[in-house]
Structure 1
Amino acid sequence: MNIIKVRDDHIPYRFTADGERYKLEAGCEASWAGDGEFGYKDLRKRVEPWLTSLFQSEHLSLLAGSGLTHAVHYLAAGRGAAGMGALTLSNYQTEIDQAAEKAAEATGRKKGNLEDQLRVANELLRGLEILQNDSESKALRKELHAGMQTFAQSILSSEAGIITAEESKREQAFNTLVTFLMSFASRTGVRDRLNIFTTNYDRLIEAGAELAGLHLLDRFLGNLMPIFRSSRLDLDMHYNPPGIRGEPRYLEGVARYTKLHGSVDWVQVGKDIRRVGLPFGAESIESYLKAPGLGGATAHQLMIYPNAAKDRETADYPYVELFRDLAAAVCRPNSTLVIYGYSFGDEHINRVIRDMLTIPSTHLVVISYDDPLGRIMQTYQDMGRPSQISLLIGPILADLTKLTENYLPRAAIDKTTFRMSELLKQRWGTEQEIDQHTPEKGQNTDGGDLE
């Protein structure tokens, strides 16, 4: 089933595919669908201009979930990315699983996952340390270390599945990813920066940006071992157009980048968060954690949400800063947030989106390959802002290849394109005017026939 709601649609329309023809669900009537049957060209005419106009909003943000990784991995390797396995413990397994299930139910998910288990296990570890139960806390810490290492290995396995795929398919997958990213990043020099947010731990977006020549501005500064900084958010890249006075313009090919849940190459070293030089798709992370200057860090110090920090103060850092960046970027007037491959399973992110929609001039675009748990449509109903939400759900609309080829705006919407359009319009209009005032052969200017 596919769902579309764009432009002036009052409700989401469900439709099915029969080859190259699409048909609205029984009981649905849409003025743009005629008798209820239409093709991809009709969808393109309806969706592409709408997204093009939204992408040129004053403020534009992209939130990418795990669906993006799975889509690119499928294009490259013909299968989805590696999933997260369950955490296996020798003690407190039942209690941790039960608490993880409750945490999952509170966010609308049917069952807990590894993230829920790690979060609960870290809280339990902190409790055992407070109770000074040294033997059990040491045993749990050792098992958590193994669990974090397995978690990191699954992330690297997903990266390796892409980078080791057949060359032609790998190139096709990365080309599609580059087109996807540049469709968002191609903004004129007077528009605010594109903000890219992701809940993924892998470096797929970084790899795609590298191939596209897209410079990502994150909070890390430095070259050899970049360090996370809270005070350099306004660092940017500008240029002065020749012959133009006034404020400099934004340099093209630059975007702000925030990994809300951390990354597989972020490590806590003392009181600092550093990014290590971990190659894309590396076999293991252990050897890269033995570098001088990391202070004997282990997988337990990886900044993967929920992190394995030792106390509450560091548990909130750097995630508080990252979530603040999300709220500051999207919760402002004339802002558009595009979501791809995110299933609304994180309440801390959903809360920011709800707050954003309280501003009437904001707009939310949800693009997802499917909605197996019904969370997207449930969230759409709960938010109660249908006029501010566009939906593109289903393989016909959200398949990454079809999306980039048919529905996303061109990756080079620039002033030259608009100038050409205006020039052609003026010339065409002038020619029409001349034709209307030029007498045909054998006809007098006053309308009478010539002798």
Structure 2
Amino acid sequence: MTINTLKVRDDHVPLHFAADGDRFKLQSGKEVSWLKSEEFDLKDLRNRIEPWLTSLFQSEHLSMLAGSGLTHAVHYLAAGKGAAGMGNLTLSTHQAEIDQAAEKAAEAAGRKKGNLEDQLRIANELLRGLAILGQSKEVDALRGELQTGMQDFAQSILSSEAGIATAEKSKREQAFNTLVTFLMSFASRTGIRDRLNIFTTNYDRLIEAGAELAGLHLLDRFLGNLMPIFRSSRLDLDMHYNPPGIRGEPRYLEGVARYTKLHGSVDWLQTGKDIRRFGLPFGAENVEPYLKAPGLGDATAHRLMIYPNAAKDRETADYPYVELFRDLAAAVCRPNSTMVTYGYSFGDEHINRVIRDMLTIPSTHLVVISYDDPLGRIMETYEEMGRPSQISLLIGPALADLSTLTENYLPKAAIDKTTFRMSELLKQRWGAEQPVDQKAPENDQPAYGEGPI
């Protein structure tokens, strides 16, 4: 039986419970103040979680970090199975040395096993070393195999997209509707709040596809229309509108978010000195035909900007990723900031370091939502950070299943001003209907949103 982990509001320690359908039971010997018995239901969980998340989502600064769990969740809804995983890099030379170095790198990062990303990074470092030593034959052989490996990697990313795009129509629509609801729960912020910042470690374009369906405008560092170019000058671009008959400053347009792909994307390409986003359809069969467009020169799959690939030198390895991680630190390391992670397993130490620095600011908060924690990295990181009052946990299928989460626990995908106005109206009517000398029952509590703010 799967164990779920919950820690929200004033919980001192994480609460563990088992699920049996819509009924839940605490682990033996555990008691919590907000439950009358060991057994409870979905309503009890919703009353505990939804107001807390709704409050956090209206923090002055809100960021969302999506890991591979989001792609797997949407793919499962659409196709009934998880997305394609990353295979291993197969080489004819230096395979053992690269695998050994990849294992050491994974161990240093707190992961039990090296993956394709580790292998690609080590292989690119080896490629630069061989070039320095003047081993031209080995350089040519390794570069050719890396190009094939990158093409296979890109193909696995496109296969995951295609699994969603070609799924049965009803299931595909359900999956995208759930994704739209998920995204809009975060993006529905009032105009006086800072824009939502969306970060992702994924290489696919699932969030972009969901944003298009939702009518959500994504602002990233790319400028242009035909083949956008990555720009270091962000300049805090935004979108406004002028209400009819209103003079003065324009108002913020709703449904706008800032978007950062921390590890690059399958449709980013290095061309000369620029990083460009080229036209690659969602779920395309192969990336190679789209690299033949005029203006891309001798572009190959090896020049795809998929972290940590580096087609040339150290400067290329740092750019544009250093700019993207600077955006992450600037967005989350601010007072009154909330960061929500979904499907992120805390396997990237460079991201964990930024989160750790964020929590040194007392008014910040971290919400971790994950379907599972198979390697125990989430709970290990939770213990290491040592700031339980600033961290909320929703781990397990009963809490983090994408459909369950959007239907029961996330704030509704609309500006919540309407709810507050209704609460105020009902409060005024209730007060007007009661005699002056009549007191409200002692156990009558104001509805959420009625009390002083």
TM-score w.r.t. length of structure 2: 0.95
What SS does structure 2 have at the residue aligned with 1:153?
helix
**Residues 379-394 of structure 1 correspond to what in structure 2 (within 5 A)?**
379-394=381-396
**Aligned-residue offset at 1:239:** 2.6
Which letter does structure 1 place at the counterpart of 2:92?
Answer: S
**Aligned-residue offset at 1:20:** 2.1
What SS does structure 1 have at the residue aligned with 2:190?
coil
Find the aligned partners of 1:149 and 1:225 in 2 and give their Cα distance: 21
Find the aligned partners of 2:36 and 2:20 in 1 and give their Cα distance: 17
**Residues 92-241 of structure 1 correspond to what in structure 2 (within 5 A)?**
92-241=94-243
Find the aligned partners of 1:241 and 1:431 in 2 and give their Cα distance: 38
Which letter does structure 1 place at the counterpart of 2:218?
Answer: L
Which stretch of structure 1 is more off in the superposition, 14-23 or 160-169? 14-23
Contact 2:369 2:393 in 1 (8 A): yes
The sequence identity of aligned pairs, in percent, is: 85
Which stretch of structure 1 is more off in the superposition, 242-251 or 156-165? 242-251
Partner residue, 2:446: none
TM-score w.r.t. length of structure 1: 0.95
Which letter does structure 2 place at the counterpart of 1:386?
Answer: P
What SS does structure 1 have at the residue aligned with 2:268?
strand
Partner residue, 2:317: 315
Deviation string 1:211-270 (CA, Å, 9 cap, x unpaired) is 000010000011000000011341111234456665433210100000000000000000
Contact 1:61 1:338 in 2 (8 A): yes
Q: Provide the aligned length of Structure 1 versus Structure 2.
A: 437
Find the aligned partners of 2:162 and 2:212 in 1 and give their Cα distance: 17
Find the aligned partners of 1:213 and 1:392 in 2 and give their Cα distance: 28
Contact 1:260 1:319 in 2 (8 A): yes
CA spacing shift, 1:42–1:414, aligned 2, 3 Å: closer
Find the aligned partners of 2:292 and 2:232 in 1 and give their Cα distance: 26
Contact 1:219 1:233 in 2 (8 A): no
**Residues 250-261 of structure 1 correspond to what in structure 2 (within 5 A)?**
250-261=252-263
Partner residue, 1:77: 79
What SS does structure 2 have at the residue aligned with 1:391?
strand
Runs of 4+ in 1 over 6 A off after TM superposition: none
Find the aligned partners of 1:390 and 1:415 in 2 and give their Cα distance: 25
1:432 aligns with 2:430: no
Find the aligned partners of 1:232 and 1:430 in 2 and give their Cα distance: 53
Contact 2:187 2:257 in 1 (8 A): yes
Deviation string 1:390-431 (CA, Å, 9 cap, x unpaired) is 000000000000000000000012433322221111111211
**Aligned-residue offset at 1:295:** 0.9
Partner residue, 1:87: 89
Which letter does structure 1 place at the counterpart of 2:85?
Answer: G
Find the aligned partners of 1:199 and 1:21 in 2 and give their Cα distance: 34
Find the aligned partners of 1:62 and 1:202 in 2 and give their Cα distance: 17
1:419 aligns with 2:424: no
Find the aligned partners of 1:243 and 1:336 in 2 and give their Cα distance: 36
1:352 aligns with 2:320: no
What 5-or-longer segments of structure 2 have no aligned partner? 440-453
Partner residue, 2:55: 53
Find the aligned partners of 1:300 and 1:176 in 2 and give their Cα distance: 35
Find the aligned partners of 1:354 and 1:80 in 2 and give their Cα distance: 30
Contact 2:310 2:316 in 1 (8 A): no
What SS does structure 2 have at the residue aligned with 1:32?
coil
Contact 2:130 2:138 in 1 (8 A): yes
Find the aligned partners of 2:395 and 2:57 in 1 and give their Cα distance: 18
1:13 aligns with 2:15: yes
Give the counterpart of 2:380 among 378, 382, 393: 378
Which letter does structure 1 place at the counterpart of 2:168?
Answer: E
Find the aligned partners of 1:117 and 1:254 in 2 and give their Cα distance: 37
Contact 1:190 1:249 in 2 (8 A): no
